Amino acid sequence: MRGIETLDLNLIRVFNAVMAERNVLRASRQLGLSQSAVSHALNRLRYHLKDELFVRTAAGMQPTRRALEISQPLRHSLLQIASVLQPTQFDPPTAVHSFALAANDDITATLFADLDRRVAQVAPGVNFVIHPANRIDLAAQIDTGRIDIAIGEFPDIPDRLQSQVLFHQDDVVVCRSDHPVGRRTLALADLAAFPLAVIAMDASRGPIAERGLVRQSEMFDRAALEGAMTAQGLSAQIRVTLPHFMALPTLLLHADMLAIVPRPLAAIFCADGRIVSRELPYVVRQVPICAVWHRRNVTNRAHAWMRRLIVDLGSRWAPGDGGEA
């Protein structure tokens, strides 16, 4: 293998893109290069490292053992270089910057309208792209720098990532205002008498785990619901399981259905008076909602500025609730 002195570091960027996409065309689009330029760069790197690196198959560009061995160290090294070369100052009024954030639709509805207003006021050149936080490769997206900050419920956060609790939330029931339980206290029997709508981000029950970052797939406290109902010899009628929250108001306005949702989202649903919320007739767990980012970004000025905005907005739901992890 030839020495580092003769290696063009742009070849490492191409290697990382092909490793992430497993496809030369998608890698070329990501890099803003032609397919032939990417192929030529791969050939140069193969010559330098004396390894095929990728084998073309029907399933895409499959990495060799050597490629798998070097991919994470190389990705980390490039991200470290990018971090070192970041501007030492970040001036919000004049900054031109894009942030990639990950959050599901309940958190997006809860936090991001206020975040957008705040950013527009103080940093008009800053924009952000929001990705779903339930994707199976979320941790890898944070590792590779494609996601700057993820926001949600993360029961187990690996050491390579840093987190801060924004607020705690519990569940309530929502229904249309003229529902039979819309003007009285909700009872356990109501959860057996009326059909329920719940949210699950994944078809399988239980947590989603990938590279150490665990996320809940079911967005309600099923154990508390089933435990309370079983103790009274009752059974809940879960009629509809949805992959997102924002279809619920339309569904509830046209049915005698109840839905279990996070309390902050319920406040948004109830704003126009057509939907009302009711306390659940059993003890529900308090869920910490966290912001998560890679530790290499701790000293990044732009990143720290965005984190402060998010933490400040999160504190409105539970003042004084945040804390570094």
Per-residue model confidence as pLDDT tens digits over 36-69: 988 999 999 998 889 999 999 988 899 999 989 8
The residue written with tokens 């057509």 in the block is 274
> What's residue 310's pLDDT?
94
* Predicted confidence (pLDDT) at residue 308 exceeds the cutoff of 50: yes
Question: How many C-beta atoms surround the C-beta of residue 253 within 10 A?
Answer: 15
Tokens read off for 322: 């945040």
Lowest mean pLDDT among 42-46, 300-304, 320-324: 320-324
Tokens read off for 53: 């690196």
* Predicted confidence (pLDDT) at residue 203 exceeds the cutoff of 50: no
| CATH, range 4-84 | 1.10.10.10
> Residues of 124-159 as b/e, b for ≥16 C-beta within 10 angstroms?
eebebebbbbbbeebbbbbbbbbbbbbbbbbeebee
CA–centroid distance for 155 within its chain: 13
* Predicted confidence (pLDDT) at residue 325 exceeds the cutoff of 50: no
Fold of 97-168+287-324: D-Maltodextrin-Binding Protein; domain 2 (3.40.190)
Give the whole-angstrom CA distance, residue 133 versus residue 130: 9
* DSSP-assigned letters across all residues of 216-285: ESBSS-HHHHHHHHHHTT----EEEEES-STTHHHHHHTSS-EEEEEHHHHHHHTTTSSEEEE--SS--P
CB contact at 8 A, 173 and 277: yes
The segment(s) of the chain belonging to CATH 3.40.190.10 are 97-168+287-324, 171-278
- Most confidently predicted of 126-140, 254-268, 309-323: 254-268
CA–centroid distance for 203 within its chain: 17
* DSSP-assigned letters across all residues of 136-169: TTHHHHHHTTS-SEEEE--SB--TTEEEEEEEEE
Q: For the segment 75-130, what is each residue's pLDDT rounded down to a tens digit?
A: 777 777 766 666 567 899 999 999 999 999 999 999 998 999 999 999 999 999 99
Give the whole-angstrom CA distance, residue 214 versus residue 69: 24
Residues paired with residue 291 on neighbouring β-strands, in sequence order: 151, 164
> What's residue 194's pLDDT?
96
The residue written with tokens 């003229």 in the block is 178
Give the whole-angstrom CA distance, residue 171 versus residue 263: 5
Give the whole-angstrom CA distance, residue 126 versus residue 90: 11
Average pLDDT value over all residues in the chain: 86
- Which whole number is the average pLDDT over 233-252? 93
Lowest mean pLDDT among 126-135, 168-177, 184-193: 126-135
Statement: 171-278 belongs to CATH 3.40.190.10? yes
